Amino acid sequence: MLPMREKLVCPNCGEKEVDYAYIGNMDTRVGYMVVWCENCNHGIHVSRVEVPENAEMIAFEDDEKFQEKVPEVIQYDEA
Ligand SMILES: [Zn+2]
């Protein structure tokens, strides 16, 4: 069964347009997380996370997949 990918409500603009991605080391499954809102382009980085077993993860070196998934226009606040 695939994990649920229902979007979350944005604390900044209130729209249900929040998506996220894990970026990490495929062997250790340690990396960081980015969370962003597709409506207002507000985002955060969460550093040093352990990527859950069933979560989709982008490898550190996989720039192509990262750019495909994460919009370029996001303005990040540091978490
Ligand atoms: Zn928003």
User: 14-34, pLDDT tens digit by residue?
Assistant: 999 999 999 999 999 999 999
Output the pTM of the full model: 0.84
* Per-residue pLDDT tens over the stretch 52-70: 999 999 999 999 999 999 9
Going from the Cα of 36 to the center of ligand 1, the distance in angstroms, rounded, reads 8
Going from the Cα of 28 to the center of ligand 1, the distance in angstroms, rounded, reads 32
C-alpha dist (Å) from residue 39 to 3, 10, 45: 23, 9, 17
Q: Quote the distance between the C-alpha of residue 78 and its chain's center.
A: 14
Going from the Cα of 27 to the center of ligand 1, the distance in angstroms, rounded, reads 33
